Amino acid sequence: MKKKTVIENLIVSTLTQLITLILGMILPRIILLAWGSEYNGLLSSVTNILRYLSLLEAGFNTATLQALYKSVGQDDREQTSIVIRTSQHYYHRISVVYALMVLLISIGYPLIIKSEIPFWETFAIIILQGAVGVINFAFRAAYQQLLNAEGKYYVISLITLLTTVLTYAAKILSIGYFNSVVIMQIMSVLVIIVQVTIYAIYFNKRYTWIDKDARIDESLLENRKYYFTQQVAGLIFNSTDTFVLSVFCGLKVASVYATYNLVYTALAQIISLIRGSTSFVLGQSFHKDESFFKRVYDAYSAMQSMIGGIMASISMVLIINFIQLYTQGINDVNYIDFIAAFLFSFNLMLECSRGASLASANIAGKAPDTTWRYILEAAINLISSLILVQFVGMKGVLLGTAIAGLYRTTDSIIYTNIHVLNRSSLYEFKNVLTDFALFFGIVYISHNLLNIKAVSYVQLFGYAIITGIIVTAVYGISFIVLNKNVTRDLVQAIKHQ
């Protein structure tokens, strides 16, 4: 894969995420003003609950991607066709089971939450949102993994950009003209049909070599049970917070969490686009040369840790002022919480710090050895969240995530360096701890010495640019001092793919 592809990935993905970020900020604000915190909390909770149903594909998507890394890296089209055919076989079965599970949840969930929203309305919201997942599993998922393996993340981003704009425009119009949450959800279903149609046209024109009658070879996805367990644990780790809050603290508190999470999800997506644009280099390099892979890993790991630090630090300087502007005029619950903002940022950094080590362990085929670690991480998060939410509410579930994240980040870095890279983990910890030290320093300065009080989004944007330049310079200097050669190695890796 050429350097041009990575540049295309980054440019298109960045544009997509920026537009998604802007639209993603606008819609919840409109929902809050039109229907209040309870509806906002419900929509957020339903989204997170349906993520649990995505467990049905857990294992298959990761196993498919790892198999495709190998066949694509070796330019074996016959084997690639077999992987795609095998993956499609499973996804079609998954879509049927997913539909049945959506039906059960749409009946059960409205009965256990404390809400004034009518049963039938909650039922319809879940059914329609679940329909999006059914369509995705049945018609798109397997082919999207091929684009990821080939490094064509820009294709996914372009299609996502178009359908994201259509989705948000349709939803906003639905609120303004129909004032109906059900019609808003119907619009999402119509747009996902458009998206699947675009994928079908693209693959029918560009991938005529795929043998749609290729044999099914289940051995290609032999590690899927381990990846399944990993993703179950990962979903519990990432998605329990809103569910726990909606049950124990109510939908209004869940709305507060969702509002902060809106910002941090956007930041995570920006980080994800960088991963998605470059991760194929890591995956393909493993199957070529061990020493080359180690150099790529160092660059990939240091880059992720630095970017996580930059995003978390900028957010801590600006987040409270943004929440004040965003929730202006909404008085049914208090949205200002500095400690919650700090824990969100801290958890974002932890997630970035372990991203490279987790990915590399799977690429190296270590899933059977690491799966129990995912389970332990999820257990720590769930148990500590259920305990702490009783005492400190929303901050309790965030603290539970931080406790589990600290364990998993430390463990994954040590494991990957010893069992995959065959070396000490001190070099990687040096980078990670330096980035955390910079983060704590910026948090202290922003909270005790700065007093940003923007009165408009335009003024806040100006502050964001200045903050971004300063914070990026601080982390950038640190990165250069500690990692004189890794950037060059990553560039060389991209050129040779």
Q: What is the pLDDT of residues 66-120, one digit of tens each?
A: 778 778 777 888 888 888 888 888 788 778 888 888 898 889 888 887 778 888 8
- Model pTM score: 0.69
Asked whether 318 and 466 are in contact (CB, 8 A), the reply is no
Stretch 32-54: mean pLDDT, rounded?
Answer: 80
Please tell me which of 122-131, 158-167, 276-285, 291-300 the model is most confident about, judged by mean pLDDT: 122-131
- For residues 439 and 425, what is the distance between their CA atoms, to the nearest angstrom? 21
Give residue 277's pLDDT band: very low, low, confident or very high (50, 70, 90): low
**What's residue 178's pLDDT?**
87
Gap between the Cα atoms of 12 and 230, Å rounded: 30
Span 339-359, mean pLDDT? 91
Radius of gyration for the alpha carbons in the chain, expressed in angstroms and rounded: 22
* DSSP letters for 156-176: HHHHHHHHHHHHHHHHHHHHH
pLDDT at 495 over 70: no
76: CB partners within 8 A, 6+ apart: none
CA distance 230 to 236: 10
pLDDT for res 227:
58
Question: How many CA atoms, within 13 angstroms, populate the side-chain half-sphere of residue 393?
Answer: 13
Q: Comparing 26-35, 269-278, 386-395, which segment has the lowest mean pLDDT?
A: 269-278
Q: What is the rounded CA–CA span in Å between residue 307 and residue 322?
A: 21
Between CA 99 and CA 46 the distance in angstroms is 15
Specify the pLDDT at position 489.
59
Q: At what angle do helices 394-419 and 367-392 cross, to 10 degrees?
A: 160
Average pLDDT for 233-241: 62
Is the pLDDT at 467 greater than 80? The verdict is yes
pLDDT at 465 (0 to 100): 93
- Of the given ranges (2-11, 16-25, 74-83, 440-449), which has the lowest mean pLDDT? 2-11
Whether the pLDDT of residue 30 is over 50: the answer is yes
pLDDT tier at 58, thresholds 50, 70, 90: low
Greater model confidence, 195 or 246: 195
Query: For a pLDDT cut of 70, what percent of the chain falls above it?
Result: 85
Chain mean pLDDT for the chain: 82
CA 41, CA 44: separation in Å to the nearest integer? Answer: 5
pLDDT the model gives residue 56: 63
CA 414 remoteness from chain centre: 24
Per-residue pLDDT band for 284 (boundaries 50, 70, 90) equals: low
Residue with more model confidence, 244 or 461: 461
- Determine which of 22-26, 58-62, 191-195 has the lowest per-residue pLDDT on average: 58-62
Q: Is the pLDDT of residue 4 over 80?
A: no
Confidence of residue 373 (pLDDT cuts 50, 70, 90): confident
Residue 237: pLDDT band with limits 50, 70, 90: low
- Note the pLDDT of residue 2: 47
Yes or no: say if 260 and 340 are a contact pair by the CB < 8 Å rule: yes
**Residue 21 near residue 162, CB atoms below 8 Å:** no
Q: Is pLDDT of 245 > 60?
A: yes
Token pair, residue 206, equals 């560009």
Whole-number Å distance between alpha carbons of 180 and 258: 21
pLDDT at site 138: 76
Range 449-461 average pLDDT:
86
pLDDT band at 276 (very low <50, low <70, confident <90, very high): low
Q: Compute the average pLDDT of residues 176-185.
A: 88
- Report pLDDT for 1: 45
On the question of pLDDT at 153 being above 60, the answer is: yes
Q: Is the pLDDT of residue 395 over 70?
A: yes
Task: Give the pLDDT of residue 67.
Answer: 79
